[in-house]
Each structure stands twice: as C-alpha cells, then as structure tokens.
Amino acid sequence: MVHNGIEYGLMQLIAESYDLMRRGLGLTDDELHTVYESWNHADLNGYLMEITSNIFLRVDETTGERLIDVILDEAKQKGTGMWTSQDAMELQVPVPTIDMAVAMRNLSAFEEERQAASVALDGPKTKFQGDRHSFVDRLHNALYVAVIITYAQGSALLWKASQAYDYKLDLEGVARIWRGGCIIRSALLEDIRAAYRAQPDLPNLLVNPFLAEKIMARQGDLRVVVRTAAELGIPTPAMMVSLAYYDGYRSSWLPANLIQAQRDYFGAHTYERVDAKGVFHTQWEKE
C-alpha cells in the first residue's frame, strides 16, 4: 500500500512538471517527449519516467492526434493512495505529497464545476519570462528533490508502522524489492538502499548525508519552480508541499506553540512547556 502511495505522489509530481511545461512554457508533445526521455537517461531514470516519455509519442488511431491530447483530464483511482494518506494520519506521520496527489485526483473529477469556474474566476496575467531551457533544467532538479522527499515520506511511514506494529521491517530489503520490478522502480532506489545499508534505523531519508547533499544543492531550483507556479497560476500542490515538508522537517522551531495556546484558550486542552515536564493550563480570559 505504501508503494502505491509513493506511486501516487510521483505521478502527481510528474503531472505538475507536465503542466508547467505545457501551460507555462508552451512545449509541444514532441518537446515533452524529448525532455522526459533525457530525464530518464539521467538521475531521474525510472519506470514512470520511461513510460511518460513514451506516452507523448503515441498517436491516436482514431483522430491521428497525439493520444495524450484526447484523453480526458479526470484521474480515476482504486483507493490505495487514499488508504496510505488515511493510515498515515492514524499513525500521525505526515505524508503531504501523497495527500496532495489524492486531493488533486479528486479535484480533477470536478470537471463540470471546473469548466464553470474557469469562466467565473480569473488568474494572473503574467506569462513566463526567461529562458525556457534553463527553466527546464531547474524543473528537473526540482522534480528530483521532490521525488526524494516523497520516498522519504513513504519510508518514514513504513518506519513508524514497523515500530507501532512490531513489523521489524528491513527497509533496505524493501528498497531492494521495489528496485527489482515495480511501478516506482528507479535509479534513485539504489541510493535509498545504500542509505539504509549504512544506517538500518535511519528515521528519515532526508538526513542520510548523501541524499541530504543532493537536496541541499538543488533546493534553490525547487524554490524557483514553486515561485514560478504561483506567479503563473499553475497548480503545483505536490511540489509546494514537498518543499514545505523539507522546510518543516529542518525547523528546530515551528509555530505549533500558537496552536497549543489556542487549544488551551478555547478548550482547556492544556499545553506543554519548553522549560518543564508535564501539562499546564492557563485561565486566559481575565476574570
């Protein structure tokens, strides 16, 4: 199930890269084929990248158009991504990239409402400025970073589940099996195997030194992609929350103290302190 959750996340990330290149940069199907093919021949090598590259070449026998352009933009699902998100919430492990993959499949099915809203609601007038080739390179790096972050979320879920249910999961073995032959098989899984071989009890792939180095060197490109998507009005929630997951995970402080204060204020739910053990309650309203 977690395999399929990761698969949902990767598919949504690739779809967002497609949207940025199609609606953002105006690339043709031939150009998209070439981009994904080149990505498949470098460090994003993997089964999903390979089939994506092939998809843009395929001609529809009925119309003679590219098949991709006559396929309806409503994604179906069998539920495995949803179950991953739901179970992750039960175990209190954040998998935001997978959550957004599920949400966007659901949003895609609101076809009729989207058609009406596209007339009623406007977006930015901004068109893409800048060099298309260098943006495609940045997009490659952004996708690479977001893909690692997606594997990290799924693996962290497996790690927590293994502890909660006493599965005694061998995560290096899981990565080896996924590498062997499945939909998310990719070159990156070799690096993930190596990470777990070096530290079998690694709580999160992001702190493996090799992967951390890769992410840190390329995070700037993910930031530029998120900024560009926001400015162009192209929805890239999976890219966005992959970045937010990275920034949240590396935050020694998060604003959750305010949420604790609010909960204690309106519901006497108590809070914890930084300087003492135990739970505390404050009478916030003046008597």
Q: Which residues are CB-contacts of 250 (< 8 A; sequence separation ≥ 6)?
A: 206
Q: Which is nearer to a second copy, 134 or 282 (CB)?
A: 282
Residue 22 near a second copy by CB under 8 A: yes
The reply to whether 168 sits near a second copy by the rule CB under 8 A is no
Verify binding: residue 223, a second copy, rule CB under 8 A: yes
Residue bearing tokens 């192209």? 234
Among 26, 30, 42, 106, binds a second copy (CB under 8 A): 106
Record the tokens describing residue 219, joined without a space.
Answer: 């995070």
Distance in Å, CB of 72 to a second copy, minimum: 4
Q: How far apart are CA 239 and CA 237, in angstroms?
A: 6
* Chain residues 52-71 in contact with a second copy, contact rule CB under 8 A: 52, 54-55, 58, 62-63, 67-71
Q: How far is the CB of 26 from a second copy (least distance, A)?
A: 14
**Stretch 246-275 residues interacting with a second copy (CB under 8 A):** 246-263, 265-267, 269, 271-275
Residue 203 engages a second copy in binding (rule: CB under 8 A) = yes
* Coil/strand/helix, residue 280: strand
- Quote the longest CA-to-CA distance of the chain: 77
Q: How far apart are CA 30 and CA 35, in angstroms?
A: 9
Smallest distance from the beta carbon of 111 to a second copy, in angstroms?
9
Judged by CB under 8 A, which of 26, 28, 41, 86 binds a second copy?
Answer: 86
Is residue 198 a contact residue for a second copy (CB under 8 A)? no
Q: Which stretch binds a second copy (CB under 8 A): 131-139, 165-173, 187-195, 222-230?
A: 222-230
* 60 touches 129 (CB < 8 A): no
Candidates 2, 27, 48, 147; binder of a second copy (CB under 8 A) is: 48
Nearer Cβ to a second copy (168/278) = 278
C-beta of 181: minimal distance to a second copy in Å? 12
Take residue 123 and report the two structure tokens written for it: 């977006």
Residue type, 93: V
Q: What is the CA radius of gyration of the chain?
A: 21
Measured from the Cβ of residue 30, the count of other Cβ atoms closer than 10 Å reads 11
Closest approach, Cβ 260 to a second copy, in A, equals 5
Q: Among 1, 38, 43, 93, indicate the residue that binds a second copy (CB under 8 A).
A: 93
Does position 19 interact with a second copy (CB under 8 A)? The reply is yes
Site for a second copy in 107-166 (CB under 8 A): 107-110, 113-118, 120-124
Cβ pair 97, 241 in contact under 8 A: yes
- Total binding residues toward a second copy, as defined by CB under 8 A: 116
Q: Rounded to an integer, what distance in angstroms lies between the CA atom of residue 21 and that of residue 23? A: 6
Distance separating the N- and C-terminal Cα atoms of the chain = 53
CA distance 122 to 153: 34
